[in-house]
Amino acid sequence: MINREFDFEKDGFVVLRRVFNEDQLSSIRNTLQRIVSHAEKGLEDPFDSYYLRHRADQGVLYDLFQRHPEFDHMARNQRILDAVAEVAGPDVFLYENSVVYKPKGKQNGVPFHQDFISRANEPVKYIAWMAVDRVTRDSGALKVVPGSHKKGFLAWHRVKGETHHDRIDESALDLTGLMHVELEPGDVLIFNQLVVHGSDTMNTDSLRLVYRIGVHRVAAVDNQLDR
């Protein structure tokens, strides 16, 4: 199997194969299963005063890097950082991180959107979407539109109260070439924030655990502060 697929410039994303092995993933998977169970029971979280509150009702757990040291090696993986450096430069800033999954029997679909679409004045961000479980079309693989990043920010609207509240207006959508990106455990999808993407609602026993980080150039932060 080849180790890399697709193209940043043409498609807006790449897939890195076998970045993490099963020994690494097994520990992370067990940790995540405990975190998800704790969050879905609505138990007290001492980190809530410092970081974003989890949204277990919609399958998003925030700021895992800050909350749990087990995620340090994933967020700092050199192969991922090397791939990001090709488009963002060698020095990047961890902008956000979260775990996304498919809670059974809950609102777990993600409408088409562009990440951080309401922050058009900020530097371009790149998302690394790391498969902890097998990600297939039947378990909620990410739907992406290759090349859609070239169209810039699209028209959007906000749905209050939703985790994925900023959504592309359907009238602006061009789904030509839409594809489902299937991943094996340990594979990583890295994409430009402007790539149009989403995922289907699923009713499955698989949590489809994915750890994701968003980064942008450190120099871009410095430039903004100098203004």
Instruction: Give 104-157 pLDDT, tens digit per residue.
Output: 877 788 899 999 999 999 999 999 999 999 999 999 999 999 999 999 999 999
Q: How far apart are CA 48 and CA 69, in angstroms?
A: 17
Q: Which range is least confidently modeled, 2-6, 7-11, 191-195?
A: 2-6
- Please count the other Cβ atoms lying within 10 Å of the Cβ belonging to residue 128: 23
65 strand-pairing partners = none
What phi and psi values does residue 202 have, to the nearest 5 degrees? Answer: -125, 145
- From residue 158, alpha-carbon distances to 111, 164, 167 in Å are 12, 9, 6
Model confidence at 226, pLDDT cuts 50, 70, 90, reads low
The pTM of the whole model exceeds 0.85? yes
* Structural Rg of the chain based on CA atoms: 17
Model confidence at 165, pLDDT cuts 50, 70, 90, reads confident
pLDDT of residue 11: 97
- Segment 157-170 shows an average pLDDT of 85
- Please count the other Cβ atoms lying within 10 Å of the Cβ belonging to residue 19: 21
pLDDT of residue 2: 47
What phi and psi values does residue 9 have, to the nearest 5 degrees? Answer: -70, -50
Percent of the chain with pLDDT over 70: 95
Nearest CA to 142 out of 184, 105, 110 is that of 110
